[in-house]
Amino acid sequence: MAFERVRTRIAPSPTGDPHVGTGYIALYNWAFAKKMGGDFLLRIEDTDQSRSSKQSEQAIFDSLRWLGFDWAEGPDVGGPKGPYRQSERLSIYAEHINALVEKGAAYKCTCTSERLAELRKRQMSLKQPTGYDGHCRNRAEEVEEEIANGAAHVVRLKTPKDGETRFIDGIRGEVVWKNEEIDDQVLLKSDGFPTYHLANIVDDHLMEISHVIRGEEWISSTPKHVLLYDAFGWEKPAFFHLPLLRNTDKTKVSKRKNPVSLGYFQEAGYLPEAMVNFFGLMAFSFKDEREMFSLEDFAGELELERISLGGPVFDLKKLLWLNGRYLREQKSAEDVVQYLQTQLFDTAYLSKIVPLIQDRVEKSEDFFPYADFFFANDINLDPAWLQIADKTKKESTAVFESIAEMLDTVKPFDPESIGAGLKKVVHDNELKPKHVFMPVRLIITGKKGSPPLFDTMAVLGRERCRYRMRRAIAAFKKMKI
Ligand code: GLU
């Protein structure tokens, strides 16, 4: 039975800030469904409960809507194949896993984490590939007894040990994987939660997804998925793995080198039209080589087979250039007034800034000289600020890298936690507070005198602080001293 309808999906995990990669992959899924008169769905993959949050889920909805996407089915809009949040589908996975165990395609495993660690150590010392050795594959009775006596267990897929698994990637052609290289995947964890592999396949099947269009990082999971589809006896969707976004140095795009959260781009004044246009250019080109196009134009032109695999560079200069063109060529003066109003004079943002500077101003015009850095991206920067007195360049770099690290991870991003994080760096490196606080103030605000530092950083937000810090470190590293 072939799929009756084109159905695509974006299936983000709600961990942290929505990533530019999610916008990029969503575009191709949305556009393909649109072109084919099909459906585009949103599914939340929140099986990793410790890392998932409702806040991040809401931010995903907001960012995808900001970019201009809509979905026919999803956790917030409902639909006939719901629920669309994996944590609400546990009984569905349990039912399916039981069917696989009964068929003999999957098996329960009571191996302890100690045994698995020991096995891994042994395999590594013998320079063998690491992976599960199949210890519980053929001892179902004993395993049942151990479980009855209280042993924790997972369920694994019984992967064939010889032969090959093949699938067609619609962009690359045939992909062949040796079965001996495919581990007996854990499908159900000991806490009763499914792994990504199981939940993803069961959901794609039940939600009748016809085309799986996702990032290249999942390509090594696809042979496991193919084996799972076969174990269930289900028809497989068509697979397309899009090339990963890269930094200008060709490494995989990462928050260390570039801002990567969609929220950052929204706050920083990028237009959604420019963002989606930019994502479109990442892996596709129009036959007439046009560089500017709308979402609708893109949906009309897209052919998945014509996607190019050359590592697309997430080049901020190009994005800025596009943004400028949209602002100048496609917006009326009224549009720009509105844009400025939301970008610069947003009441919620101003309400956070004003208490920090109110006691320094006498008239409205004093506001900007004090608060300009709240509205800019690339502020005035002198890399020499990072040179700590009596420290080598290397030592100073290490101090600011640990601050950047702290800005990446500190939770919540509020004045108290930021202050505690900075004080810890001062303490751990046996520095004087001024050696850290003054340069951080300069890097973050471009000024020697600013409103209270920790409050200022909290208002600016994680992405902007992190960006300024990373940019300063990169400039300092390049500086000849
Ligand atoms: N939850 C996965 C993600 O975060 C989904 C990958 C897929 O599309 O299969 O991207």
Q: Ligand 1: which of 214, 226, 241 to mutate, judged by most atoms within 8 Å of the beta carbon? A: 214
* CA distances from residue 60 to 23, 33, 52, 382 in whole angstroms, order as listed: 9, 20, 12, 36
- Whole-number Å distance, alpha carbon 100 to ligand 1 midpoint, is 23
Please report the pLDDT score of residue 250 as a whole number: 85
Q: Identify whether 339 is part of a domain.
A: no
Q: Identify whether 230 is part of a domain.
A: yes
- In short, whether 13's Cβ falls inside 6 Å of ligand 1 is yes
Cα–Cα distance for residue pair 443/454, rounded to 1 Å = 13
Q: Identify whether 336 is part of a domain.
A: no
How much is the average pLDDT of 386-414? 94
Angle at 213 between CA 229 and CA 180, to 5 degrees: 45
How much is the average pLDDT of 185-189? 95
For ligand 1, atom 10, the nearest C-alpha belongs to 12
Label each residue of the chain as H, E or C: CCCCCCEEEECCCCCCCCEHHHHHHHHHHHHHHHHCCCEEEECECCCCCCCCCHHHHHHHHHHHHHHCCCCCEECCCECCCCCCEHHHCHHHHHHHHHHHHHHCCEEEECCCHHHHHHHHHHHHHCCCCCCCCCCCCCCHHHHHHHHHCCCCCEEEECCCCCCEEEEEECCCEEEEEEHHHCCCCEEECCCCCECHHHHHHHHHHHCCCCEEEEEHHHCCCHHHHHHHHHHHCCCCCEEEEECCCECCCCCECCCCCCCCEHHHHHHCCCCHHHHHHHHHHHHCCCCCCCCCCCHHHHHHHCCHHHCCCCCCECCHHHHHHHHHHHHHHHCCHHHHHHHHHHHHCCHHHHHHHHHHHHHHCCCHHHHHHHHHHHCCCCCCCCHHHHCCCCCCHHHHHHHHHHHHHHHHHCCCCCHHHHHHHHHHHHHHCCCCHHHHHHHHHHHHHCCCCCCCHHHHHHHHCHHHHHHHHHHHHHHHHHCCC
- Whole-number Å distance, alpha carbon 423 to ligand 1 midpoint, is 38
Please report the pLDDT score of residue 156 as a whole number: 97
- Whole-number Å distance, alpha carbon 11 to ligand 1 midpoint, is 5
- In short, whether 44's Cβ falls inside 6 Å of ligand 1 is no
How much is the average pLDDT of 129-150? 94
- Containing structural domain, residue 303: 7-86+245-325
- In short, whether 214's Cβ falls inside 6 Å of ligand 1 is yes
Q: Ligand 1: which of 200, 216, 220 to mutate, judged by most atoms within 8 Å of the beta carbon? A: 200
pTM score, whole prediction: 0.89
- In short, whether 200's Cβ falls inside 6 Å of ligand 1 is yes
* Average model confidence (pLDDT) across the chain: 94
Given the DSSP bridges, would you call strands 164-169 and 173-178 parallel, antiparallel or unpaired?
A: antiparallel
Res 463 pLDDT > 60: yes
HSE toward the beta carbon, residue 414, CA cutoff 13 A? 3
* Ligand 1 nearest atom to the CA of residue 45, by list position: 1
Q: Identify whether 1 is part of a domain.
A: no
Of 280, 259, 255, 279, which Cα lies nearest the Cα of 269?
259
* CA distances from residue 464 to 343, 347, 444, 470 in whole angstroms, order as listed: 15, 19, 8, 10
- In short, whether 204's Cβ falls inside 6 Å of ligand 1 is no
- Whole-number Å distance, alpha carbon 305 to ligand 1 midpoint, is 21
Residue 147 and residue 191 in one domain: yes
Active site residues: 255
Query: Where residue 281 sits, what CATH number does that domain have?
Result: 3.40.50.620
* pLDDT confidence band for 2 (50 / 70 / 90): confident
Cα–Cα distance for residue pair 167/159, rounded to 1 Å = 16
Please report the pLDDT score of residue 249 as a whole number: 84
Q: Identify whether 203 is part of a domain.
A: yes
Q: Identify whether 2 is part of a domain.
A: no
Q: Which of 278, 296, 325 is the last residue of a domain?
A: 325
Cα–Cα distance for residue pair 481/476, rounded to 1 Å = 9
Residue 124 and residue 230 in one domain: yes
pLDDT, tens digit, for every residue of 37-85? Answer: 999 999 999 999 889 999 999 999 999 999 999 999 999 999 999 999 9
Number of domains in the chain: 3
Q: What is the distance, to the nearest Å, from the Cα of residue 443 to the centroid of all Cα atoms in its chain?
A: 27
Res 1 pLDDT > 60: no
- In short, whether 473's Cβ falls inside 6 Å of ligand 1 is no
- In short, whether 456's Cβ falls inside 6 Å of ligand 1 is no
Please give the order of strands across the beta sheet that includes 211-215. Answer: 173-178, 164-169, 238-242, 211-215
- Whole-number Å distance, alpha carbon 224 to ligand 1 midpoint, is 14
How much is the average pLDDT of 470-475? 94
For ligand 1, atom 8, the nearest C-alpha belongs to 214
Please report the pLDDT score of residue 252 as a whole number: 86
- Whole-number Å distance, alpha carbon 25 to ligand 1 midpoint, is 10
Residue 103 and residue 226 in one domain: yes
Q: Ligand 1: which of 40, 52, 216, 218 to mutate, judged by most atoms within 8 Å of the beta carbon? A: 218
Residue 97 and residue 74 in one domain: no
Residue 406 and residue 463 in one domain: yes
* Ligand 1 nearest atom to the CA of residue 13, by list position: 4
* pLDDT confidence band for 346 (50 / 70 / 90): confident
pLDDT, tens digit, for every residue of 416-437? Answer: 999 999 999 999 999 999 999 9
Q: Identify whether 332 is part of a domain.
A: no
- In short, whether 11's Cβ falls inside 6 Å of ligand 1 is yes
pLDDT, tens digit, for every residue of 246-301? Answer: 988 888 887 777 788 999 899 889 999 999 999 999 999 999 999 999 999 999 99
Q: Are 234 and 204 in contact (CB under 8 A)?
A: no
